[in-house]
Copies of this chain bind each other. A is one copy, B any other.
C-alpha cells in the first residue's frame, strides 16, 4: 500500500517556479468550475437539428436498442410502453424524450469532499476533468510502459494540484493490481489524495456498490441520499447496445441518486455509420434510450448525455482525433443536449492519437478542447494527459494540456470595460510615437492584466538557448517533478480516513478469500 509516498525534499529552480505558477491558484481562490461569459458557438440550423432528432427517433422505433442480460430492465421498459422483443427494445418516437424531459434535471451540483471544489454541471458551466483509464503511461524519461500504482498516485496528485482541472478520475489503470481489487484502491486514492469531485467506478456492480459505500463513509450516510457526490460514466456499446456490466452500474448509481452519464463511444465507420449526421443520430438514440432508463429507475436522478465521435481510417482501421469530424460532432451534440434539456459531457477534451507530447498531440488536443469550450459542453472529460487514442496517460502531456485549458479559461474572463480597463488615460498620457512601458496605467495594472503561461517559453532565443534549449516536453517534465515534490495531501478527518481504509482492507480481504 503506497499511502504516503511524498518526499520531503524541496523544489526549486526554473521548473519549480513554473510549477508554482501553474499551481498558483490556491484552493481558496481558484474557481471550482467555469461559468461561460460568451455566446456559444453554434453550427447547425433548426432544420438540420430536427433531421438528426427525427432520425434518432426512427432508429429507436425501427432498429431498437439492445439492453442485454437484465430481465428487470426489460420489464421496466415494457411497463413504460416500449415494445420488447427478446433483449431488443423499440421505442415510439418521442417516448424517451418525453420520459427524460418529465423528470431529468437540466443542471445539478456534484459535491466534492471539499465544498470549495463542488461542481455545477449544466447550464453555461464547464467542468474540466483529467484523463481517465489508460493502461499505459508515458514520460520522456522512461518512455511508455504499463501503468502502476506509483504512476496512478503521481498523476492523481498532479491533477489535484493543477487549478484548471476541476474533477479527478482514475488517471490511469492500476495494472499492478488484480482487476477485482482495482476499484477499491482507485476510489480510496481519489478520496485520499485529492479533494476534488470524483468519478465513480463502473467496472462491475460490486465496484459501483463499493464506490457508494466509500462515498457514504466520506460524505456521511444520509448526505448521499439527497446530494450528488459521484459522477459515473456509463458507456453504451455502440451500435445500440447497453450491456449488462454497464447497465448494472447505471442501475446502482441511478437508484442511489448519483449522477449517471450515458455516453456512446463511436468511431464512425466502425461503431457508427461512416457519416457524421448518421453517427450523431445513432449517438442521440443511444443516449435517449439510456437516459430514459435512468429516469424510469429513479425519476429526477441527475444525468448527462455524452458524446464521442471519432473517425477511423478505412485503410488501416486506425482511429483519428482532433479531426474536422470530431469538432463538428462535438459542436452539434452540444446543441442536441441543450434541446433535450440535460447537461452534455464530451469525452473529447485533449484527445489525440499521438504517441508523444509533441506537435500533433498539441494541435489535436487544442482543436477539440477549444471546440468543446466554445460549443458549450458542460463536462469536458480527458482534458489533460490523454495520448495514443486513450491507451496512454502522459505525464508531460498532462502539464501541456493544463496550459491549453488555462488559456481557454483565461479567454473566458470578460473583457474589462471599466474605466480602468478602457485605459483612455493611458492613451492620452503616452500619445503617438512613444511606448507604454512606464505609463501610470501600465504600472498600476501590469501584474494582473494578462494571463501568464506556465509551460510556454516566451524568452528570447538566446536566453532559451542558454538554458539548454529545452522543448515543451522537457520543460513540462521539470514542472510535474516539481509539483510532486510540492504536493501536499489534502486534510481528511482521521476517523473518516481510518474508516475508509478499514473498508478498503476489509473488502480486499473478502475478495482475496472469495467471501
* A432 interface residue (CB < 8 Å to B): yes
B239 contacts A422, C-beta separation under 8 Å: no
Q: Which residues of chain A in 367-398 are interfacial with respect to chain B, using CB atoms and an 8 Å cutoff?
A: 367, 370-371, 374, 388-389, 391-392
Q: Which residues of B contact A48 (CB under 8 A)?
A: 415, 417
- Assess A269 versus B314: contact at CB under 8 Å? Given A355-B464, A407-B323: no
A423 contacts B461, C-beta separation under 8 Å: no
Q: Which residues of chain A in 170-190 are interfacial with respect to chain B, using CB atoms and an 8 Å cutoff?
A: none
- Count residues on chain A whose CB falls below 8 Å from chain B CBs: 126
1/0 per residue, CB under 8 A from B, across A60-100: the answer is 00111110000000000000000000001000000000000
1/0 per residue, CB under 8 A from B, across A25-46: the answer is 0000000000000110111100
1/0 per residue, CB under 8 A from B, across A177-207: the answer is 0000000000000000000000000000000
Q: Which residues of B contact A271 (CB under 8 A)?
A: 435-436
* Bound Cα distance from A442 to B313, whole angstroms: 12
Which listed residue, B367, B409, B426, touches A275 by the CB 8 Å rule? B426
B278 contacts A421, C-beta separation under 8 Å: yes
In the assembled complex, how far is the CB of residue A28 from the closest CB belonging to chain B, in whole angstroms?
Answer: 22
A273 contacts B353, C-beta separation under 8 Å: no
Which listed residue, B412, B439, B451, B471, touches A323 by the CB 8 Å rule? B451
1/0 per residue, CB under 8 A from B, across A334-363: the answer is 000000000000000000011111111111
Q: Which residues of chain A in 419-443 are interfacial with respect to chain B, using CB atoms and an 8 Å cutoff?
A: 420-424, 426-428, 430-437, 439, 441-442
In addition to A239-B436, A241-B433, A325-B450, 17 A-B residue pairs with Cβ atoms within 8 Å of each other are A39-B43, A41-B41, A44-B415, A63-B428, A64-B432, A237-B433, A239-B427, A269-B436, A276-B415, A282-B427, A311-B449, A320-B453, A324-B411, A328-B411, A358-B358, A363-B400, A364-B456
* A225 interface residue (CB < 8 Å to B): no
- Assess A273 versus B415: contact at CB under 8 Å? Given A59-B427, A453-B323, A473-B359: no
Q: Which residues of B contact A422 (CB under 8 A)?
A: 51, 55, 275, 277-278, 281
In the assembled complex, how far is the CB of residue A467 from the closest CB belonging to chain B, in whole angstroms?
Answer: 11
Q: Which residues of B contact A476 (CB under 8 A)?
A: 359
